[in-house]
Amino acid sequence: MYKLYSHNDLDGVGCGVVAKLAFGDEVNVTYNSVGGLDYQIEKFFEDAGQKNDDFLIITDLSINEENTERIENYMKNGGSAQLIDHHKSALHFNGYEWGKVQVNYSDGRQTSATSLLYEHLVENQLMIPSPTLEQFIELVRQYDTWEWDKLNNIKAKQLNDLFFMFSIDEFEGKIIQRVQQDTDFDFDEFEQKLLQMEDNKIERYIKRKKRELIQANIGDYCAGVVHAESYHSELGNELGKEYPHLDYIVILNMGGRKMSFRTIHDHVDVSEIAGQFGGGGHAKASGCSMGKEAFQLFVVDLFQSEQLRMDAPKNKLNVKENPNGVLYEGRSGDKYFIFVHAGDWSIDINRKKNSQTFSDYQDAVNHIKRSDYAWLVKDDIFEEYSK
């Protein structure tokens, strides 16, 4: 029997779909959270006892040192195991015969656990290539790596929306049936309708969350902190774009005692930040459980903090990057007038000249947003100031 332990997100369940298509009734699949896997693997070895006839497969997740040791012993005693992952934080498993971790393809594209497992099984002639399945796998890969956003492939995002609208069992069943029967991987009419409704719902949710964001200096970085149960990836991306002066976004899920880190910037590696709290992941998306230290830092210390004010959204006069001048106001009450002077962006503070200049508009804005939580003021205040 194959025993697959995979992650409980879209990429993890994609692995389950691939395994079930390859092995049918010969595979037993369980889905786990990042924090829950080690216990399940420990249990696998307890149940196995002296037996070694199960083929253990782990995908899209990492295991601790104890379980690494257990796999080594299992292999020595004639058992079979394979760990397939694409997270940078798992690269050390390549040091083991049973580890296969790859972050990028040779052409630079990022990998996903689902695509790696599929390719592994095809290479080892454990499954026949299927073009329809490959379409599904590519959508999973694009969603998991967030490549869909760059390619503007909304279908990948919709696949993930659909994943959250059904139970894992229902989703798996739908996908397996579709891959086996259809020549193209598409959504049916009912699903399209559901997706439209879900899209509107997510938009409203994100709009609300934009107003709940708290800015905090944590370590060397300026972070945006928000509480949210759902839509972590969409939220991290939208908040990151709305507030580009923030180095990264932290999303706290209090019920699940988990937190996610997201960034749209290249100068921050959020897998390192999650690593400081015992988690891991990718450079642009990572997560960890909420321990005592993280709880103090991100929840207790910030609970009384004021929420960040958004830039006025509908201005006609006070518009960003206007070389003649853009007006911001800070939490201190100070007014910041940013304008081009001698080829650089200058800032007047309360109508007084400030010697600091910036070559880039966004750098000037970042400066006042980080130091004084500044926001773009509405047109009427701008008009008043310009009089």
Q: Which residues bind Mn ion (CB under 5 A)?
A: 11, 60, 113, 144
Q: Which residue is nearest to Mn ion (CB)?
A: 11
Q: Which is nearer to Mn ion, 60 or 119 (CB)?
A: 60
Q: How far is the CB of 303 from Mn ion (least distance, A)?
A: 32
- Let me know how long the chain is: 387
Decide: helix, strand or coil at residue 191: helix
Q: How far is the CB of 141 from Mn ion (least distance, A)?
A: 9
> How far apart (Å, rounded) are the C-alpha atoms in residues 58 and 226?
32
Question: Looking at residue 243, what DSSP letter applies?
Answer: -
CB 238 within 8 A of CB 231: no
Q: How far is the CB of 113 from Mn ion (least distance, A)?
A: 5
> How far apart (Å, rounded) are the C-alpha atoms in residues 72 and 113?
22
Q: Which is nearer to Mn ion, 40 or 115 (CB)?
A: 115
Q: How far is the CB of 60 from Mn ion (least distance, A)?
A: 4
Q: Which is nearer to Mn ion, 87 or 245 (CB)?
A: 87
Q: Which is nearer to Mn ion, 140 or 259 (CB)?
A: 140
CB 70 within 8 A of CB 47: no
> How far apart (Å, rounded) are the C-alpha atoms in residues 34 and 135?
27
Q: How far is the CB of 149 from Mn ion (least distance, A)?
A: 16
Q: Which is nearer to Mn ion, 85 or 242 (CB)?
A: 85
Q: Which is nearer to Mn ion, 87 or 367 (CB)?
A: 87
- Phi, psi at 157, each rounded to 5°: -65, -40
Q: Which is nearer to Mn ion, 113 or 368 (CB)?
A: 113
> How far apart (Å, rounded) are the C-alpha atoms in residues 255 and 234?
19
Report CA torsion sign: 167, 170, 176, 182: negative
Q: How far is the CB of 77 from Mn ion (least distance, A)?
A: 30
- Cα 248 to chain center, whole Å? 11
Element (H, E) at 353: strand 352-358
Q: Which is nearer to Mn ion, 143 or 336 (CB)?
A: 143
- Phi, psi at 69, each rounded to 5°: -60, -45
Q: What share of the chain is helix, strand, coil (3-state, %, to 5)?
A: 45, 20, 35
Q: How far is the CB of 10 from Mn ion (least distance, A)?
A: 8
| Long-range contact set of residues 271-278: C-beta below 8 Å, sequence gap at least 24 | 271/87, 271/88, 271/89, 273/219, 273/221, 273/248, 275/89
Query: Under 8 Å CB-to-CB from 195, ≥6 apart: which residues?
Result: 158, 161, 162, 187
Q: How far is the CB of 101 from Mn ion (least distance, A)?
A: 12
Q: Which is nearer to Mn ion, 75 or 283 (CB)?
A: 283
Q: How far is the CB of 112 from Mn ion (least distance, A)?
A: 5
> How far apart (Å, rounded) are the C-alpha atoms in residues 326 and 298?
33
Characterize the bridge pairing of strands 99-101 and 55-59.
Answer: unpaired
